[in-house]
Amino acid sequence: MNTHPDRQGIDRPITIAIMAMGGQGGGVLADWIVALAEHGGWVAQTTSVPGVAQRTGATIYYVELIRPQQRNSRPVLSLMPVPGDVDIVIAAELMEAGRAIQRGLISPDKTTLIASSHRSLAVVEKASPGDGRADSAAVLHTAGATALRFIHADMQSMAEAQGSVISAALFGALAGSGTLPFPREAFEDTIRAAGVGVNPSLRAFAAGHATVGSPEPQAAAAAAILAPARPPPPIPATMQGGSAAERAELARALHRVAADFPAEAAPMLHAGLRRLVDYQSIAYAHAYLDRIAPFAAIDSTPGHELTLEAARHIAVAMSYDDVIRVADLKTRGARFARVRSDVLATQDHLVETTEFMHPRVQEICATLPARLGLYVETSPRLCGVLKRLFEHPRRIRTTTLHGFIPLYILASLKPWRPRLLRHQRETAHIDIWLALAGAQSDQRLATELIKCRRLIKGYSDTHSRGQSKFDKVISALPLLAGRGDAADWIRRLRDAALADEAGVMLDGALRTVATL
């Protein structure tokens, strides 16, 4: 198929806008298109407008191609895309397609939009106190309605599967779209002429090209965006590497889930057990079930929402982020394998990993045995010594013995966690929170109080800010006593707390509650 069948008689260029982020090869893709056109006797020009506000820097590359009408003529081409006059838009990530729509670069009467459906979250999405992710389904729907033709699939995964980068898969999709008057062989020759990563690039090119001819990749991409998240698989009755006693305790925990809790909550409870066995131990996972059982016993909410939310948030609260957890995650073999996969390293490549860590005095004291931690924490002299020792961030190369061994030793303190100051404080806070929720006769209000634990996350300053917001929301409970809409007000306060990091909206909502 060729959307632009024969342009020999025209005097207007083919206009192409490429929306890409740093490291995605947007410049390489633009250069390939220019080389492709020039080899075919066309005049081509590329420009770029770099950005630094999105992720690692989103850049708009603009390419114009035109066949000269006279020998030795040199047409004048534009330096930037004009809204409403772009033939092809290529987006290396779904939200970049959304940005192109917002800029007016997509026209329903002329623009072919080629986009990868995967997500690479922006800084504003990651930094949001709540769920700051943009709605992928909305972009998918709008793109389909706005563009003359919309070609999309997870081209990032396609490229990674072939050991290449996304630009090669997008180049293949461009070739398959028929929007440029050049044969497939010319596209492939352009990749060969570049001379870098030729074979992986050709394989990724072929995968991207096949996307256009078959509806399956696009249907799979849409289904992945629109489908709800699937629950994790049930925990097996055996644990690899566990002792006979541990396997028996795990089997007992699974039996408790089946016998003592509603069936609707089983997937969430299995996820919680999996998380807490990994975090601490099977005994710790039984303590998790003990905390949920009182709520399950009285739960009369629709769909057993109270039990589900208790299962969700208690698991997260009991697996709080501490220094031991951070060290454990950073020294796991699976993490090193993931890093190698992310950078597309082969067996012949050496990969160095540097971790940036800056523990505060509070984190150091919290990792000590409870009595010792309290003593150090209340001693200005000792705190001053620790502050001077750790005032500068540490750069730890975990791919060296010198960097790996200290973190590995720190991670090995996991069995001692229940004796440490941080654990005792977290346990006390969890007990107070659950006692407060359990004391409510209104189960809707109890459910909303359980959900408030969502405010507390992370570690260091992030954890402190979250706990401060949690305490502020809970402080409004006496003002709402006896009100039929108390649950709704707690939900509004929680949403306000999640709306901005500084807590301005929460403070305003609390002033409103005070006037009730």
Q: Summarize pLDDT for 52-99 with one digit per residue, the tens.
A: 544 445 788 899 998 876 566 677 777 888 888 899 999 988 888 888
Counts for the chain of helices (H) and strands (E), in that order: 24, 8
**The pLDDT value given to residue 230:** 56
Q: Summarize pLDDT for 118-140 with one digit per residue, the tens.
A: 887 766 667 667 677 777 788 88
Give the residue with greater pLDDT, 368 vs 196. 368
Beta strand 58-66 with 149-153 is: unpaired
Q: Examine the pLDDT at 260 and tell me if it is beyond 70.
A: yes
Averaged confidence pLDDT in the chain? 85
Give the residue with greater pLDDT, 220 vs 499. 499
Q: Cα–chain-centroid distance for residue 145?
A: 27
Q: Summarize pLDDT for 179-205 with one digit per residue, the tens.
A: 999 999 999 999 999 888 889 999 999
- Give the residue from 497, 506, 498, 505 showing the smallest Cα distance to 128: 498
Alpha-carbon gap, residue 385 to 236, rounded angstroms: 48
CB 208 within 8 A of CB 169: yes
CB 84 within 8 A of CB 59: no
The length of the chain is 516
Residue indicated by tokens 């634990």: 453
**The pLDDT value given to residue 1:** 43
Show Cβ contacts of residue 102 under 8 Å, excluding neighbours closer than 6 positions: none
**The pLDDT value given to residue 383:** 87
Q: Span 487-507, mean pLDDT?
A: 89
- Which residue intervals of 162-299 are DSSP H helices? 166-177, 184-194, 198-213, 216-226, 244-260, 266-279, 282-298
Residue 259: C-alpha distances to residues 102, 245, 256, 289, 378 (Å): 53, 21, 5, 12, 47
Q: Examine the pLDDT at 7 and tell me if it is beyond 70.
A: no
Alpha-carbon gap, residue 137 to 147, rounded angstroms: 16
Q: Summarize pLDDT for 413-440 with one digit per residue, the tens.
A: 999 999 999 999 999 999 999 999 999 9
Q: Cα–chain-centroid distance for residue 244?
A: 37
Whether the predicted model's global pTM rises above the 0.85 cut: no
**The pLDDT value given to residue 157:** 87
Q: Which of 306-315, 324-333, 458-467 has the lowest mean pLDDT?
A: 458-467
- The tokens describing 511, both together, are 């002033």
Containing 506, the helix (H) or strand (E) segment is helix 504-514
